[in-house]
């Protein structure tokens, strides 16, 4: 197991390097094609000369390679990696450190993900298990229909409708029913409130989790059905174990393996969803900052946050891989 | 009633540990209800081995799943009884039935790689039932797991209890499977094709091990197989199944020397022998689908001694000799090695009449 | 002789895939949800291809005096009302369907070609080809596509490419394609690995059929089923992504019209008493996406029996 972890971590470092390189190549190509390296960082905004100078210095844009489309610009890449290694991810247009912004925004993103994960697991495990246990029953069909409907609802649309149509009447109703200073009005507040981070993040988190839960429901159902029909479950029953024990130790335990993998694979997608959620609901998290940065054309900040979030994704994949090995001995000893 | 008292009751020779009577199992399928087992009866005594032989689909595995209460949801026992230590398991609730499994009757499954849980250690699986049902402590369970692996002659048992099924070779895995079934000290062991997935040399070792353990513990053993060849050295009695029914039941030696059913005879001819040089005869055709059972004797389309009566009448259970049963219109002729008379239903009356019980003959 | 024999095995493979396809078609044809979805999709595709069939008004003909008119019903001047700039909602909806659907079609089509080709090469040749393709797939899977799109499209925010339908969708199309091909590559690679060892493929190889011939006549037909089932859902995904990018102002950009832009414009007027500005484009988007998802689900059942357990 120890050697497996070491090997995975080494692979993760390699992967991180590759991912950084691909991001760099794509960014470089985009800057080169844009035709005006320095101005590319300001979008439709008109920057002050001082801002242009800062960006040029920060990204080494005076390097002639940025004027030659197709040139991989390895020099600036190495330099940039050096800066990343020292924890320097640049500044936003107003000169605030990206790391500083991330440090203050990250806790809210974590809160959002806690809500999302709970929603995933609860909906996925409960509905998936029910559908598998009573396969072919009306509840199985109902759950399947629900998961198709969930799939058809883009996160963006779901949250937009929630924010623009549902929140105002709902929070008004909550204020009337429970009083101005009670909790419920905060749950349905159309935007984030730093005074009440958990309350204002809860519903957006549940909605985002709901949007991603369809895949989980299907996966839990399919893998539990596999397990129920599995020979090892028949063996467990033949030992005279009671059904509860068989379900927990032989059905749920075995079907947890693909579910954990799915958490890893869905993470990148969920991150995209988190950006949309935080953007629309004005949550001050990493995604919200990114959303605002895109809208206000602060490309330096966009680059910094995308880099960090991508690194986080690599990290999560490694954690999932290790959890996978802990759950499935066949992987560990390969 | 504890397992121990059951055993003392059951030990006197002649009293069956497990007695299956007139068992019938049906499956619901998209094509309608089909009968997978139809009127199967057999008994297993302490210290004896019964081999159930048949092609796949003959109902031999389904009948043992019915004994264990492990039939899939689409299957239903429609008739018969399964008496284990004096109790009819089929009258028990699912929970009570399950409680007798592992304890009084245990099962060894065919494909040990699939039948063992890949995510738990071998030691865990060996003693899971002991810990959950008899409250064994973790330490005692580990000791017991090592003992069990020693019992089935897995070398280096102490280290191997911590390993996972995929780390074992096929033969060793099957031994683990056997040890798992033995964990609760069952009175009867049902082994469903325990050697099919193994190499020929390993097959022999595993069979020998099963026979040794069975003799040592004075267990009843039901050995399910499609290969009449493996039965000879191990079994005391043989039940040959075809299309969900027992077609011949007898002690092992006469089955080999004087088979009383054309199907048994054909099976024997298709066993490769060391001396044999010519082409191995095969049984023409395929076993009937349970959904489209032929009229009359289910074997008649493939039978080399078929007569008109076979196409119309289901053969009765004949007793061509004491202690033997054959579901053939011409059982005596076949047993004597004669060709049945060209066209006659008359011979049926010469075959000793029908009996409800395979071994219920007073001459026994 | 060898040519004839391999042609014969080819026919066997072809027959097998034809039966699967016709079986799938037969089972799909009988499902009412599939028929309704198909009709809805056809409706919007016709709308995207011939928007003038649905409206005679130009979507750019906006009179600020006609702003914020509620839906008047068909037969009147503004059947679905107007938006905050006085543009006809129906005209916008009809003309806005083109960029949304064209983008989805271009992205999924190109991604499909790239993914299938790379997956086929990787699965067939293995070795270093497989190594390179698999690592590339992993790297692109790790980068969340929306983040990549936000980064790359932001860098082009100051570039004006013109207002032709194709130029407006070009940038989002390139970026979404770049991050949309990996799923197909993985699926195809896996099915190729499976199909490569099938008896008739081995036979074709033994008879001296060329690599290309084996890939396209024998291996690909086996792999195409599960991949086809992914397509409707992928198209739905791109339509959703377009809406997000348009909302951020980095996808299809005004003065071009797309459903995403209409949603963005309309979203702030819902509580002001003009919900139709949001609901009309939203309903069109949801109907399309839902139909595609239902179709994808049905296709998955019909084409990949393993998944429908």
Q: Which run of H or E residues covers position B251? A: strand B245-251
Residues A151, A212 within the same domain: yes
Q: Residue B78 belongs to what domain range?
A: 11-242
Let me know if residue C15 belongs to a domain.
no
The number of helices, as runs of H, and strands, as runs of E, in chain B is 15, 11
Residues A237, A155 within the same domain: yes
Residue B357 has pLDDT above 70, yes or no: no
What is the CATH number for C244? 1.10.3720.10
Let me know if residue C6 belongs to a domain.
no
**pLDDT tens string A260-279:** 877 777 787 888 889 999 99
Let me know if residue B284 belongs to a domain.
no
Residue A236 has pLDDT above 50, yes or no: yes
Residues A248, A219 within the same domain: yes
Most A CBs within 10 Å, among B67, B120, B165, to test the A interface: B120
Q: Tell me which of A72 and B325 has the higher pLDDT.
A: B325
**Nearest to B117, CA basis, from A101, A231, A8:** A231
**pLDDT tens string A181-196:** 777 777 887 778 888 8
Mean pLDDT of chain B, nearest integer: 83
- N-term to C-term CA, chain A: 10
Let me know if residue C228 belongs to a domain.
yes
Q: Residue A36 belongs to what domain range?
A: 1-88+297-334
Number of domains in chain C: 1
At B40, list the tokens. Answer: 């199967």
Question: What average pLDDT does range B243-267 have in this prediction?
Answer: 89
Residues A285, A199 within the same domain: yes
pTM score: 0.75
Residue B273 has pLDDT above 50, yes or no: yes
DSSP state of B340: P
At B154, list the tokens. Answer: 């897995």
Residues A290, A304 within the same domain: no
Residues A121, A79 within the same domain: no
Q: A150, A127 in Cβ contact below 8 A?
A: no
Per-residue confidence (pLDDT) for residue B160, from 0 to 100: 92
Number of domains in chain B: 2
Residues B155, B58 within the same domain: yes
**pLDDT tens string B43-60:** 999 989 999 998 888 888
**pLDDT tens string B192-219:** 988 887 888 888 888 889 999 998 989 9
Q: In this complex, is the C-beta atom of B132 within 8 Å of any C-beta atom belonging to chain A? A: yes
Per-residue confidence (pLDDT) for residue B10, from 0 to 100: 36
Residues B303, B337 within the same domain: yes
Q: Residue C86 belongs to what domain range?
A: 21-308
Let me know if residue B69 belongs to a domain.
yes
* B135 Rama sector, left if φ>0, alpha if ψ -120 to 50, beta otherwise: left
Most A CBs within 10 Å, among C155, C230, C247, to test the A interface: C155
**Nearest to B169, CA basis, from B181, B182, B154:** B154
Let me know if residue B251 belongs to a domain.
no
What is the CATH number for A166? 1.10.3720.10
Residues A304, A289 within the same domain: no
What is the CATH number for B40? 3.40.50.300
Choose the closest CB to C139 out of A19, A31, A276. A19
Q: In this complex, is the C-beta atom of B183 within 8 Å of any C-beta atom belonging to chain A? A: yes
Least trusted range by pLDDT, from A14-23, B180-189, C17-26, C183-192: C17-26
Let me know if residue C13 belongs to a domain.
no
Let me know if residue B203 belongs to a domain.
yes
Residues B219, B265 within the same domain: no
Count Cβ atoms within 10 A of the Cβ of residue A98 and give its class: 0-12 exposed, 13-18 middle, 19 or more buried. buried
**pLDDT tens string C109-134:** 999 999 999 999 998 888 899 999 99
Chain A closest CA to C4's CA: distance in Å? 43
Backbone φ and ψ of A162, nearest 5° = -60, -50
Highest mean pLDDT among B24-28, C87-91, C265-269: B24-28
Residue C56 has pLDDT above 80, yes or no: no
Chain C closest CA to A264's CA: distance in Å? 10
Q: In this complex, is the C-beta atom of B73 within 8 Å of any C-beta atom belonging to chain A? A: no
Per-residue confidence (pLDDT) for residue C240, from 0 to 100: 86
Let me know if residue B182 belongs to a domain.
yes
Number of domains in chain A: 2
Least trusted range by pLDDT, from A195-199, B170-174, C8-12, C34-38: C8-12
For B358, the 3-state DSSP assignment is coil
Backbone φ and ψ of A106, nearest 5° = -55, -40
Residue C254 has pLDDT above 80, yes or no: no
Residues of C in contact with A152 (CB under 8 A): 236, 286, 289-290, 292-294
Per-residue confidence (pLDDT) for residue B5, from 0 to 100: 39
Question: What average pLDDT does range B70-85 have in this prediction?
Answer: 88
């Amino acid at each position: 197991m120890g050697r497996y972890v070491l090997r995975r971590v080494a692979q993760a470092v390699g992967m991180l390097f590759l991912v950084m390189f691909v991001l760099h190549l794509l960014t470089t190509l985009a800057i080169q094609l844009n035709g005006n390296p320095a101005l590319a960082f300001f979008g439709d905004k008109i920057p002050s000369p001082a801002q242009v100078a800062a960006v040029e210095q920060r990204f080494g844009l005076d390097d002639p390679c940025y004027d030659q489309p197709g040139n991989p610009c390895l020099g600036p890449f190495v330099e940039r990696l050096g800066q990343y290694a020292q924890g320097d991810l640049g500044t936003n247009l107003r000169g605030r450190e990206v790391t500083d912004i991330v440090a203050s925004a990250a806790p809210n993103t974590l809160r959002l993900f806690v809500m999302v994960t709970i929603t995933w697991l609860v909906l996925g495990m409960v509905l998936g298990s029910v559908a598998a246990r009573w396969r072919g029953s009306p509840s199985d069909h109902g759950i399947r229909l629900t998961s198709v409907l969930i799939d058809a609802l883009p996160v963006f649309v779901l949250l937009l409708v929630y924010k623009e149509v549902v929140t105002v009447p709902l929070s008004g109703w909550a204020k009337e029913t429970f009083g101005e200073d009670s909790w419920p009005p905060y749950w349905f507040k159309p935007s984030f409130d730093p005074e009440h981070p958990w309350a204002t993040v809860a519903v957006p988190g549940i909605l985002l989790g709901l949007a991603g839960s369809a895949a989980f429901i299907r996966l839990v159902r399919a893998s539990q059905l596999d397990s129920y029909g599995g020979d090892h479950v028949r063996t467990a029953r033949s030992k005279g174990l009671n059904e509860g024990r068989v379900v927990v130790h032989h059905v749920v335990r075995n079907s947890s393996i693909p579910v954990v993998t799915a958490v890893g694979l869905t993470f990148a997608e969920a991150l995209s969803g988190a950006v949309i959620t935080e953007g629309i609901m004005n949550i001050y998290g990493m995604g919200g900052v990114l959303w605002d940065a895109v809208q206000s054309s602060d490309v330096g900040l966009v680059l910094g946050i995308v880099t960090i979030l991508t690194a986080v994704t690599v990290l999560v994949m490694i954690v999932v891989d290790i959890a996978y090995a802990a759950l499935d001995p066949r992987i560990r000893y390969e | 009633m504890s397992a121990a008292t059951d055993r003392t009751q059951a030990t006197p020779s002649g009293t069956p540990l497990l007695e299956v009577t007139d068992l019938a199992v049906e499956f619901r399928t998209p094509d309608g209800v089909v009968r997978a087992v139809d009127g199967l009866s057999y008994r297993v005594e302490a210290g004896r081995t019964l081999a159930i032989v048949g092609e796949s689909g003959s109902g031999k595995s389904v009948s043992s799943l019915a004994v264990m209460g492990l039939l899939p949801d689409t299957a239903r026992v429609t008739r018969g009884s399964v008496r284990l230590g004096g109790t009819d398991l089929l009258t028990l609730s699912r929970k009570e039935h399950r409680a007798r499994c592992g304890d009084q009757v245990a099962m060894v499954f065919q494909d040990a790689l699939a039948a063992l849980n890949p995510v738990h250690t071998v030691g865990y699986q060996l003693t899971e039932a002991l810990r959950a049902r008899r409250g064994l402590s973790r330490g005692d369970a580990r000791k017991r797991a090592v003992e069990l692996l020693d019992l089935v002659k897995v070398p280096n048992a102490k280290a191997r209890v911590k390993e996972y099924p995929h780390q074992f070779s096929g033969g060793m895995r099957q031994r683990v499977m056997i040890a798992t079934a033995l964990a609760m000290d069952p009175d009867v062991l049902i082994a469903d094709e325990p050697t099919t997935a193994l190499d020929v040399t390993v097959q022999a070792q595993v069979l020998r091990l099963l026979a040794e353990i069975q003799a040592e513990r004075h267990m009843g053993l039901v050995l399910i197989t499609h290969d009449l060849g493996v039965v000879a050295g191990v079994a005391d009695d043989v039940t040959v199944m075809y299309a969900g029914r027992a077609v011949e039941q007898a002690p092992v030696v006469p089955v080999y020397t004087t088979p009383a059913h054309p199907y048994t005879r054909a099976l024997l001819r298709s066993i490769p022998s060391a001396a044999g040089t010519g082409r191995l005869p095969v049984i023409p055709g395929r076993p009937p689908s349970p959904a489209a059972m032929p009229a009359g004797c289910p074997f008649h389309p493939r039978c080399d001694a078929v007569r008109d009566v076979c196409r119309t009448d289901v053969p009765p259970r004949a007793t061509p000799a004491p202690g033997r049963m054959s579901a053939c219109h011409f059982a005596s002729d076949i047993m004597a090695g004669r060709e049945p008379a060209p066209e006659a239903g008359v011979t049926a009356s010469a075959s000793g009449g029908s009996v409800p019980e395979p071994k219920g003959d007073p001459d026994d | 002789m060898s040519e004839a024999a391999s042609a014969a095995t080819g026919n066997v493979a072809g027959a097998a895939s034809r039966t699967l396809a016709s079986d799938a078609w037969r089972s799909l044809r009988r499902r009412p949800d599939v028929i309704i979805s198909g009709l809805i999709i056809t409706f919007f595709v016709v709308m995207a291809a011939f928007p003038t069939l649905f409206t005679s008004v130009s979507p750019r003909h906006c009179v600020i005096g006609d702003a914020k008119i509620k839906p008047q019903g068909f037969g009147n001047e503004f059947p679905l009302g107007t938006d905050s700039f006085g543009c006809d909602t129906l005209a916008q909806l009809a003309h806005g369907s083109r960029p949304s659907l064209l983008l989805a079609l271009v992205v999924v089509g190109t991604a499909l070609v790239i993914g299938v080709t790379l997956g086929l090469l990787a699965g067939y040749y293995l070795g270093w080809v497989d190594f390179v393709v698999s690592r590339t797939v992993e790297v692109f899977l790790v980068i969340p596509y929306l983040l990549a799109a936000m980064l790359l499209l932001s860098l082009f925010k100051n570039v004006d490419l013109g207002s032709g339908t194709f130029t407006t969708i070009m940038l989002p199309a390139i970026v979404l394609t770049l991050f949309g091909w990996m799923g197909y590559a993985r699926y195809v690679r896996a099915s190729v690995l499976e199909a490569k060892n099938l008896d008739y493929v081995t036979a074709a190889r033994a008879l001296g059929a060329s690599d290309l011939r084996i890939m396209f006549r024998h291996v690909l037909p086996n792999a195409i089923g599960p991949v086809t089932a992914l397509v409707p859902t992928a198209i739905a995904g791109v339509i959703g992504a377009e809406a997000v990018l348009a909302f951020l102002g980095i996808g299809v950009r005004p003065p071009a019209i797309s459903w995403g832009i209409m949603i963005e414009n309309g979203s702030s007027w819902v509580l002001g008493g003009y919900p139709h500005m949001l609901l009309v484009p939203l309903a069109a988007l949801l109907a399309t996406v839902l139909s595609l998802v239902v179709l994808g689900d049905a296709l998955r059942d019909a084409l990949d029996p393993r998944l429908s357990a």
